Structures are given as C-alpha cells and as structure tokens.
Structure 1
C-alpha cells in the first residue's frame, strides 16, 4: 500500500507541477494587468511602481524562477485584484465549492442507483426504455444551456427560485440540478450495465432458485458486487466537477473556486489564478486517494499494491 501511495503522489505531483507551469505562461499571454488597472495616459512612474510591486518589471523567465522559489515556501504572492494573499483567497472559496459538489454528487448517485437498478430489474421492458431515454437525454444536455434555461423558466417566468446567489436553500436548487444532471445520465447507464452483469451471474440465479427475496438480492448483494465500476466512474465525475463549478459560478453568481478562477482570469490576477490551480489540483489528488480507499473497502479482494 505504501508503494502505491508513493507512486500516486509522485505521479500526481508531476502532473500538478506541469499544469501550474502551463498556467503560469499561458496567463501572461493574455496581456498585462496594467491595461486593466490603469487608465490611458497614466504616468509612467505609477505604472513602473505597480510593475515593481508585483514583480512584473522582470523578464518572464526570471518571474518564473521567483515564482517557483516562493511557491516551494507556500507563498503565491498577493492578489492584484483583491489585495490579500492569493492562497488565502483560493482556500477561502474551497469549502463552498466542496459543499456544492458533495450535495450534487450525493443527489447524482442516489438518483442513478434507483433509476439504474429499476432499469436493470425490468430489462427491455417499458421502465427500462423510459429510464434509458431519460438518462441519455440528461447526459447529453450541456450544463451551461440547462443553467440558462433553468433561470429563464424557473426563476424569471415561474418565480420559484432566485436567479443567483446562495443566501437561501432555494438558491441552491438550480446550481445543484445543473451539476447533477449530466452525472445522473452517465451514472444511470453505468449502474444499469453493472447490475445487468451481476443479476445474470450464476450466484444470483442460484439465490433466486433457493427462494431468496428478490429485493434483498438486488439491493443487498447484487448492488454491492456491481459497485466497483460505479465507484470508478463516480470518482472521475466528482474530480471533474470543478468544471461545472466554473459554469455555476458564472451563471448563478454562486460563490466558490469557479467564480474566483473566472474573476482572476478577467482581472489578469496571476497570483490568484496560480494559487487556485494548485488548490484545485490538491483537492483532486485527495479525492482520488479517497476513491481508491473506498474501492478497497467495498471489495476486500482489491489491494493497493
């Protein structure tokens, strides 16, 4: 197990460093923050002082070297946009993002387990056809389109939920639905396929022949043995929910790391952007470890070697 952890940490660290280096150079291709924070005709002295304070007066390669040295100490500089430590700004938005992702992932898994199990137990029947059609549609709808249509229909026309923010429980409905829709469609198909494989296996047919309760066979025995592919896909989806968090942050003005990243890009706030990428990378690495541990707990035959 320790060998697995060491290898996973090394591979994850290399990937994270590569992404951070890429973001460092790509961010600077968008232009200088001076163009946004100073009006035309600003004095050269003020611009030079601004560049000096934020280290933008040096060549890009030298800036990168300074960034690496400071990053190894955990210092990502101060936010140009928010005037506070960049890493503090990034970590401050993580709890809301994780809470939103946790709720959306929980809803996705629960709905997918129910729909997928129903489709598998009524294979090729009317319920299976309806569930398959609905899941394929849900998995095909773009998140940004669903978010905009949801605001237009449920917030603007029907006045059932707020258009933005997170101040009330109703304000969470559309963001959670936006993040959950695609995963529900994908996971439902995965649950259906995995359950069909298990329900047609020899030990399930033997249990039915002995008169065991059909519901107990499905939800206690078959579902557990079908859990491995479900956990794998769910882990990948959960790690990718930060992409949905960006959409939710922009469309619904929902607080979180997604809105922070978009704001940092628009304001050319290099320190916050770089710190946010590191925070997201660390979160994904930790999540992958959790998924691996759950994988081993569900099936003791799996060993992290």
Structure 2
C-alpha cells in the first residue's frame, strides 16, 4: 500500500509540474496586464512601475523561475485584481465549488444507484424503459441549455427561485438541479448495465433459489459486485464538478472556482489562474487515490 501511494504521489507530482508549466506560459498569451489595468493615456513611467511591481519586466523564463522558487516557499503570488494573496482568493472560491460538488454528487449517487439497480431488476419493464429514456436525455442535454431554460421557466416565469447568488437555500436549487441532470443520466446507465450483468450471475441465481428477498438480492448480493465501474464513473463526474462547473457557475453567478478561473483569465490575473489550477488539480489527484482505495474495499481480490 505504501509503495502504491508513493508511486501515485510521484506520478501526480510530475503531472502537476507539467500542468504548471503549460498554464504559466499559455496564460501569458492572453496579453499584458498593464494594458488592462492602466488607462490608455498612462505615462511610460507609470507603465514601467506597474510592470516592475508585478514582475512583468523580466523574460518569461526568468518569471517562471521566480514563480517556481516562490512555490517552493508555498507562496502562490498576489492577485493583481484584488491585491490579496492568490491562494486565499482561490480557497474562498474552492470552498463554494466543493460544497456544490459534494451536495450534488451525494444526491446524484443515491438517486442514480437506487433507480439504476431497480431498473436492472425490472429490465424490459415499464420502469426500466422510463428510467432509461430520461437518463439518456439527461446524459445528452447540454448544461448551458438546461441552465438557461431553468432560469426562464422557474426563475423568470414562475418566480419560484432566484436567478443567481448564494444568499439562501433557494439560490442553490437551480445550480444543483442543473448539475444533477448529466451525472444522474450517466451513472444510472452504468449502474443499470453493471447490475444486469451481476443479476445474471450464478451467486445471485443461487440466492434467489434459496428464497432471498428481492431487496436483499439487489442491494446486498448484486450491488456490491456491480459497484466497481460505478465508482469509476462517480469519480469522473465528481472530478468534473471539482474542476469547476464553469458554465453553470458563470450563468448562475455562483462564486466558485470555475467562475473565478474564467474571470481571472479575462482579467489577466495570472497568479490566481495558476493557484486555481493547482488547488483543483491537487483535489482531483487526492480523489483519484481515494477511488483506487475504494476498489480494494469493495473487492477483496484487489490489492495494491
């Protein structure tokens, strides 16, 4: 186990380093922050002072060297836009995204696993056909379209919920609802397929022959053995949310890390962009390790 964790940590560290290099140089292609933050008629001296203050006068390779040296000291730089430590800004936004992702995935996982298992148990029946139909629509519908329709219908049309913000529980309903649809459809389909295979296995047939109740057959004998591919899909969908539900957060004005990255790219706030990428990448690496460990917990035959 220790060897496995060490190898994963090393591979994740290499991936993170490559990501830092790519984002650092690509973000500079968006332009010079001096042109954005200073007026057009700013004097040459003012422009020079601004560039010197934010370390923009040095060649890119020198700037990268300084940035890496600061990272070693856990200094992620300062936000140009907010005049605050970049890491502090990112953590504040990441907390919002983390809450949104955890709540959404908890609801999605419970609903998709339960309904997918029941659909597999009644394969070919009315419930299975209805669940499959709606899950396929959910997995195919684009998030931005669902978000816009939800605002037009439920916020503007009926006035049931606010259009944006996070002030009350009602502000969370539309973002969670929109983010729920695609993962629900994908996970339900995987659960259904995996459960159909598990329910046709010899040990399940034996349990049925012994008179085990359908509920126990589904949720005790079959579901645990069908969960390995499901865990993978749940992890992928959770990673997508942790990576920032960019479109949904932007449309609903949700102050998460996805919206922060978009705003920071447009504002050429390089330190915040890099800090957001690193914090998100670290969270995803840790989650992938937890998923691997969950495999061993579900299947005793898997050992690391």
Q: TM-score range by the shorter chain?
A: over 0.9
C-alpha distance in 2, partners of 1:221/1:37?
62
Q: Could you tell me how far 1:245 is from its partner in structure 2?
A: 2.0
Q: Could you tell me how far 1:300 is from its partner in structure 2?
A: 2.2
CA shift digits 1:266-290 (9 cap, x unpaired): 1000011111111011111111122
Is 1:258 the equivalent of 2:258? yes
Q: Could you tell me how far 1:244 is from its partner in structure 2?
A: 5.0
- Unaligned 5+ segments in structure 1 are none
The corresponding residue for 1:60 is 60
Q: 4+ residue runs of structure 1 moved beyond 6 angstroms?
A: none
The corresponding residue for 1:25 is 25
C-alpha distance in 2, partners of 1:280/1:138?
26
The corresponding residue for 1:218 is 218
- Unaligned 5+ segments in structure 2 are none
Q: Could you tell me how far 1:297 is from its partner in structure 2?
A: 1.6
CA shift digits 1:250-278 (9 cap, x unpaired): 11111211121111111000011111111
The corresponding residue for 2:273 is 273
Does the aligned pair in 2 maintain the 1:179–1:244 contact within 8 Å? no
Does the aligned pair in 2 maintain the 1:144–1:247 contact within 8 Å? yes
The corresponding residue for 2:91 is 91
C-alpha distance in 1, partners of 2:165/2:285?
29
Does the aligned pair in 2 maintain the 1:143–1:244 contact within 8 Å? no
C-alpha distance in 2, partners of 1:296/1:180?
28
C-alpha distance in 1, partners of 2:114/2:291?
21
Does the aligned pair in 2 maintain the 1:250–1:259 contact within 8 Å? yes
C-alpha distance in 2, partners of 1:105/1:160?
24
SS, match of residue 117 in structure 2? helix
Q: Could you tell me how far 1:299 is from its partner in structure 2?
A: 1.9
Is 1:197 the equivalent of 2:197? yes
The corresponding residue for 1:118 is 118
Does the aligned pair in 1 maintain the 2:97–2:241 contact within 8 Å? no
C-alpha distance in 2, partners of 1:110/1:211?
27
SS, match of residue 57 in structure 1? coil
Is 1:46 the equivalent of 2:46? yes
Give me the TM-score of the superposition, normalised by structure 2: 0.97
Q: Could you tell me how far 1:242 is from its partner in structure 2?
A: 3.3
Aligned pairs for 1:29-178 (under 5 A) are: 29-178=29-178
Is 1:4 the equivalent of 2:4? yes
Greater shift after overlay, 49-58 or 213-222? 213-222
C-alpha distance in 2, partners of 1:68/1:244?
25
CA shift digits 1:220-259 (9 cap, x unpaired): 2211111111111111111121355212221111121112
C-alpha distance in 1, partners of 2:240/2:22?
19
CA shift digits 1:80-103 (9 cap, x unpaired): 011101111112222211111001
C-alpha distance in 2, partners of 1:170/1:244?
21
C-alpha distance in 2, partners of 1:18/1:266?
23
